[in-house]
Structure 1
Amino acid sequence: MEVGKKITGLIYDQNELETYFKAKDFTLKEGKWQGELKQVTKDGKKLTVLSRFKVLYDNSGNPYQIISVDSDITEMKKIETLLNRTQRLESIGRLASGIAHDLNNILQPIAILTHVFKRKLQDESDLKYIEIIQSSIQRATNIINQILSFSKGIAGEKGIVQVKHLIRELEVILKETFPKNIKIEIEVQKDLWPIVAEPNQMMQVLLNLCVNARDAMPNGGTLKIKAQNSILDKHYITQLPNLKPGPYVIISVEDTGTGIPPEIIDKIFDPFFTTKELEKGTGLGLAQVNSIIKEHNGVINVYSEPGKGTIFRIYLQAAEEEFKEKGVEKLKEEIPIGNGELILVAEDEPAVLEMIKLALEENNYRTITVNNGAEGIVKYSQNKN
């Protein structure tokens, strides 16, 4: 029991005392007050409380005491913040999807023109410039596709996924967005097996782990992403509950950051557990990662030493043998040369429509172009033979 100390020094956050004093002054003036205040527990844990102040009067009608009833709403505020953030993310997703679509329409005519010029140009130096343009367009297209994927949400059907392709796309995003003082290293086994997964969820897992790694290296460092095949026998899986012996793909995300203290490492996958400030994290990132991996019948574990860095390892079962062949990347096919065939093209973006028409006619096709589906039906009925 603390005797002789003021309540402001006992239970109220010292950085939030101004709000408390304003509430007290309002209560003395109006007789009552209700609102949110910041408090701290005996062990220093910060709380958000809903406070109700009321003035008590003596028999002469003079105020002699303020009574306060407080309700702990810390967890409710966390959930409220999460819901607000989710709504903002949905809005951002819709906005990003629209922007990505517009950017795609701008890039398509450029991409088509480069293919046309590549066929026409013979000079090697000119072709070199075209290849640079094509490379830049491909980088931009990869980023746009990622934006579109995430704006559609993470739910989707599972299918054969080549992890090496996800890591390749991830590498582009990281090198475009992470600070330059963080070195990105990628090590992927050449004949990496495919897995059965929902690709957007897998990308979300990898991005989440990489963002955590970035935050753990405020002064820079090395982020290494590795993927390899492994046959886990019955002795090995005794260390990995819920797995059965067989072929697995192991994905590692390693950083050289601050590390995780041993006293909290067992809590990092718990919902709402975070060491970040409230504005910088909800404590749901790793919980969601763990949930996604479990949904895919996999396991994620962590090894960390304070000051030396952290390693997350994900164990996912390789696809069955009959699916592996389907997961092999298909070779890109060249656009075939036409023989005067007539093609109807419907496209609402004028520049894209013009470039498609140009590309087709350059490859010995004839075209009829329209701006929408209704015009397309009319033109088809006029030229269906």
Structure 2
Amino acid sequence: MRERIAWAYEPRSILAMLALAAAYLVAAKAGMAFSLVHSSVSPVWPASGVALGGLLLCGASRWPGIFLGSFLSTLFWQAPLIGSLVTSTGATLEAVLGVWLLRRLDFSAALERVQDVVALILGAAVGCSLVSALIGNLSLAAEGILPWADFMKAVGVWWGGDAMGIVVVTPVLLLLWARQPVERRLEAMALTSCTLLICLALFTAALVGPSSWYIGTFFLFPLAVWAALRFGPRGVSLVTLFLTVFSLWGVMVRLGPSQTELQSQASAQTLVLWQFFIGVGATTCLLLAAASAGRRDATKRMELLAAAVRSVSEGVVICAVTPSGPKVLFANEAFRAMVGLGMVELMGRSPREFAGEMDPETRQRLETAMRQGELFRCQVLLRHRDGKRVPSELQLSPVRDADGKVTHLVSIHRDVTATQELRTRLMAAERVAAVGTLAAGVGHEIQNPLAYLELSLEGAVRSLGQGRAGAVDALVQLRDAQEGAERIRHIVQDLRMFSREGAQERKPVDLREVTTPALRMVRHVLRDRARLEEDYGSVPRVLASEGRLGQVLLNLLVNAVQAIPEGAPEQHVVRVRTRTAPDGRAQVEVSDTGRGIHPEVLPHIFEPFFTTKSLEEGTGLGLSISQQIVRAHGGEIHVHSEPGKGSVFTVLLPAAPEAVTREVPEARAEPRTPSSRALARRVRVLIVDDEPRLAQSMRLLLEPVHEVVTATCGKDALALVSSGQRFDVVVCDLQMPGTTGMDLYEKLSEQAPELARRLVFMSGGAYTEAAIDFVRTVPNLVLEKPVPPELLLATIDAALTPELRQTGS
């Protein structure tokens, strides 16, 4: 408090108070010139506007300056001392209450909001000025200066004068103090010139007669409206001030100093009506200026928002909710680039038209969210006009009106093509890393059958060198060699399933069939750490990617192996269990009796790159990617672990729909062996493979039952067909140098479409992106190398007989 008092009496504060007192005194002197009802009551009182504006600009603490100016002005009309003090108190209280009220209402001196104009007019001008009118007139009446009979009339005149002083003068002080640069200077000069001309016309009309003056006052409105629309509240306040000053001056000059009592009353009524007219006009135009300023500000914000929405990298679509469904109102450039359509082509269309393939559950959830106006997130494929698909991460948000009804939908699409490519590479890298962790064991598994394959073949060669006596031994040794080759083929198939990127198509999968190759991968490494227990219960098929689920199981098994120390396999167990969960989902558990997971670590194990292992043991991506794969299949993965007691990882996946399961046969038809082909006809087969020895081996296999021609490149095969040679079936490698199997298929489709339909592809599994797309769309049979002889013979028969095509792999 002492600091405030000391601050109030600083030289700068004292000068400000004296300046306010002087300004109030000058304005009061001008107002007293219009005292027609009583010498102490004037219908024109600009001093109230000076008081309120001064305290708003300088601070309410400068109120002593207002009190001093009001006290001196009352003394000048020879009012009693007590009356002067009371009247000055009322004038000061009017200004202080006005400042307090406006600040409580978050008043802005710019007057560019309708609420600010309303607060100034109703709160300060109409409300607070009544305080001064009541206090001042009560003081005059109490001291006998004002007859009680004229009390209400005097209160009305005083109240109107103070209110008009605030309406006319305060905005001028507030807006001129801001010192904002004048925009549109030529137009401002034109407005000023017109205002001065109208002011002179009003002054002249006031001298000529009342009828001419009344007609001239109507020019106030067009000028004020012009100022409101083009120059805002500042222009309105200046125009209003000029018109008020000149018109009042003209009225006073016309009335003159010598008036009868009747003329005095008529003049008072004229001034009151004129003040009311000015007040209504000024208030209307100030409201118009504030509304116009608010509209301009809203327009600028909308333009800024529109520019921001247009320039963001994410696709933004705004749809109106209609009875027939959402319709596009706006789409920014990023979304238009995603779908390859212009704004005119998008307007009025349903956003459903741009969504590509979507699983039924996600589509149903999206439709429900759009219908009910709920927040929704998912991934969708946008359909580009050239046919390509753009993976997009969608966020749908509703826009509601004041009643809570959804009127619009805003969807944000983020192109996740690069993210998906990176995720695919990370998954592929993690698959390779998991297999690399088991590289030594896989090498050992291959070395064993490879060793007795070589020994058996060497023994067969020596036995055959002994003539007929060694033929039986050679046959036994060749069968052993065949068994070794079959074991190596299974190992290669397991490696291919876990490492290739093309195994992403979803089909009904039996979890027990996926578990077997994963166990084969870790079995050798597991021998030195724990016993393996398998418990395969009944489990429903799941609609999934076999390779992706295999990666999940392999990651879980690798984690189980690494959680168990070497050297005590009889003390530890790794258990794999499948069963049907109580809710009907397929469930597979991988548990171990290893070191377990600490409770502080457990919440973070699915975070990317989080690992407690050494760099040689893991990257920290295995469990994170496994969780992503399981969630992408609509499932869940849970973990329960106790330090020192091991861990249990549980994977839950939704069962495949019955309609999809019924489409897949329970078991494949048994391939026919050469001995069962007595009734099969002999055909002409063209074998195309860039590996000459493989082509020769297949020729030797097939020649007993078919006529075989070989070619080592696609170009030679096309030359044989073009030369007129007839073939019934073509067995071709999918990927070869130069002319690939895909190129050969395209050429044959043009030259010999019937032969193209009987073309059988073979692949070593090293799929390129083009090969993956080709295999997904081509109707022909595709075999994985190495191909068992029985399967090769059966596939050739299937190629010849359409009803047997499902025999192939």
Tell me, yes or no, whether TM beats 0.5.
yes
- Describe the superposition over 1:115-168 as per-residue Cα deviations: whole angstroms up to 9, x where unpaired: xx9xxxxx9987765554343323211221233334432772222222221111
CA distance 1:343–1:134, shift in 2 (3 Å): same
Where does residue 681 of structure 2 map in the other structure? 339
Alignment pair present for 1:218 and 2:218: no
CA distance 1:180–1:128, shift in 2 (3 Å): farther
CA shift, 1:291, in A, is 1.4
Where does residue 707 of structure 2 map in the other structure? 366
Larger deviation, residues 271-280 vs 291-300? 271-280
- Describe the superposition over 1:267-299 as per-residue Cα deviations: whole angstroms up to 9, x where unpaired: 222223222234543322211111111111111
What is the SS of the residue equivalent to 1:303?
A: strand
- Describe the superposition over 1:347-367 as per-residue Cα deviations: whole angstroms up to 9, x where unpaired: 2222211221111122x2111
CA contact (8 A) 1:195 1:319 kept: yes
The match for 1:195 among 525, 532, 542 is 542
Instruction: Measure, in 2, the Cα distance between the counterparts of 1:156 and 1:88.
Output: 13
Instruction: Measure, in 1, the Cα distance between the counterparts of 2:502 and 2:625.
Output: 11
Identify the structure with the greater helix proportion. Answer: 2
Instruction: Measure, in 1, the Cα distance between the counterparts of 2:615 and 2:716.
Output: 54
What is the SS of the residue equivalent to 1:315?
A: strand
- Describe the superposition over 1:233-289 as per-residue Cα deviations: whole angstroms up to 9, x where unpaired: xxxxxxxxxxxxxx2110000111111122322222222322223454332221111
> Which runs of no fewer than 5 residues in structure 1 stay unpaired?
1-81, 118-122, 233-246
> Which runs of no fewer than 5 residues in structure 2 stay unpaired?
1-424, 461-470, 728-809
What is the SS of the residue equivalent to 2:586?
A: strand
Q: TM-score, length-normalised on structure 1?
A: 0.60
Where does residue 666 of structure 2 map in the other structure? 328
* 2:540 partner letter: W
Instruction: Measure, in 1, the Cα distance between the counterparts of 2:637 and 2:655.
Output: 15
* 1:249 partner letter: A
The match for 1:137 among 459, 464, 485 is 485
Where does residue 156 of structure 1 map in the other structure? 504
Identify the structure with the greater strand proportion. Answer: 1
CA shift, 1:196, in A, is 0.7
The match for 2:516 among 168, 174, 181 is 168
CA contact (8 A) 1:258 1:309 kept: yes
Q: TM-score, length-normalised on structure 2?
A: 0.30
Instruction: Measure, in 2, the Cα distance between the counterparts of 1:371 and 1:184.
Output: 47
Alignment pair present for 1:207 and 2:207: no
Q: CA RMSD in A?
A: 3.6
Instruction: Measure, in 2, the Cα distance between the counterparts of 1:88 and 1:197.
Output: 17
Instruction: Measure, in 2, the Cα distance between the counterparts of 1:369 and 1:314.
Output: 49
Alignment pair present for 1:356 and 2:698: yes
Instruction: Measure, in 1, the Cα distance between the counterparts of 2:503 and 2:707.
Output: 41
Instruction: Measure, in 1, the Cα distance between the counterparts of 2:496 and 2:476.
Output: 30
CA shift, 1:335, in A, is 4.0
What is the SS of the residue equivalent to 1:218?
A: coil
Instruction: Measure, in 2, the Cα distance between the counterparts of 1:200 and 1:327.
Output: 20
- Describe the superposition over 1:158-199 as per-residue Cα deviations: whole angstroms up to 9, x where unpaired: 22222221111112212244453432222222x532111112
CA contact (8 A) 2:497 2:503 kept: no
What is the SS of the residue equivalent to 2:596?
A: coil
Instruction: Measure, in 2, the Cα distance between the counterparts of 1:287 and 1:361.
Output: 52
Instruction: Measure, in 1, the Cα distance between the counterparts of 2:554 and 2:432.
Output: 16
Larger deviation, residues 215-224 vs 155-164? 155-164
CA contact (8 A) 2:578 2:589 kept: yes
CA distance 1:128–1:173, shift in 2 (3 Å): farther
Instruction: Measure, in 2, the Cα distance between the counterparts of 1:158 and 1:88.
Output: 18
Asked which structure has the greater CA Rg, the reply is: 2
CA shift, 1:88, in A, is 12
* 1:264 partner letter: V
CA distance 1:162–1:361, shift in 2 (3 Å): same
Pairwise mapping of residues 54-69 of structure 1 onto structure 2 (< 5 A)? none
